[in-house]
Amino acid sequence: MPDTEMLELLKQRLQRKQYKLTMQRRTVLEILLEHPGEHLSAEDVYGALRDKSSDIGLATVYRTLELLVQLGILQRMEFGDGCNRYEIADIEKNEHQHHHLICIKCGKVTEFFDDLLDELEADVAAKSGFKITDHQVKFYGYCKECQDELENK
| Helix/strand/coil for 84 | strand
* 146 annotated to bind ligand: yes
**C-alpha closest to that of 106 among 152, 58, 141:** 141
Cα separation, 127 vs 124, whole angstroms: 5
Widest pairwise Cα distance in the chain:
57
* 83 annotated to bind ligand: no
* 103 annotated to bind ligand: yes
- Answer yes or no: are the C-beta atoms of 82 and 46 closer than 8 Å: no
- Answer yes or no: are the C-beta atoms of 41 and 83 closer than 8 Å: yes
* 39 annotated to bind ligand: no
Residues 6+ apart with CB under 8 A from 90: 96, 97, 98
| Helix/strand/coil for 6 | helix
Binding residues for Fe cation, as ranges, are: 135
Detail the residues annotated as belonging to a binding site: 103, 106, 135, 143, 146
Q: Detail the residues annotated as belonging to a binding site for Zn(2+).
A: 103, 106, 143, 146
